[in-house]
Amino acid sequence: MYHRITEIAKSIIKKFVNHFFTPSQIFFQDMPTRWGSCTIKDKLIFNPKLIHTPKRCIEYVVMHELCHMIHKHHNDNFFKLLTLMTPDWEKRKYKLNTYL
């Protein structure tokens, strides 16, 4: 079931690794208020319900969590990196919010 998310994540991770480093692990966990999470040990966790969203939304969530590996908080540096890696992230986030 999560194969689609994992495949999309692997593709995004390859792009990210060219500039930074790779996450330690990828997991799936039901989260009532989040699409994804990044632990202090760089483990990425994705909400299985993400499978019901478009590919561009999944790509956004993956990149968002990868950016947290570099900048743990939603500060200016985080959003600069997210914009560099996914320039249209705001459109993707808006679309993703329609699935809440």
Q: Domain with 14 in it: what CATH number?
A: 3.30.2010.10
Per-residue confidence at 1, pLDDT binned at 50, 70, 90?
A: low
Phi, psi (rounded to 5 degrees) for 92: -65, -40
pLDDT of residue 16: 85
Tell me the pTM. Answer: 0.92
pLDDT of residue 22: 84
**Complete DSSP assignment for 11-76:** HHHHHHHTTS---SEEEE---SS-SEEE-TT-EEEE-GGGGGS-HHHHHHHHHHHHHHHH-SSSSH
pLDDT of residue 65: 95
- Give the total number of structural domains in the chain: 1
Tens digit of each residue's pLDDT (9 = 90 or more) over 2-57: 788 999 999 999 888 877 878 889 999 999 999 999 998 989 999 999 999 999 99
Residue 17 carries which side chain, given as an amino acid letter?
V
Q: Which domain holds residue 51?
A: 3-97
pLDDT of residue 99: 87
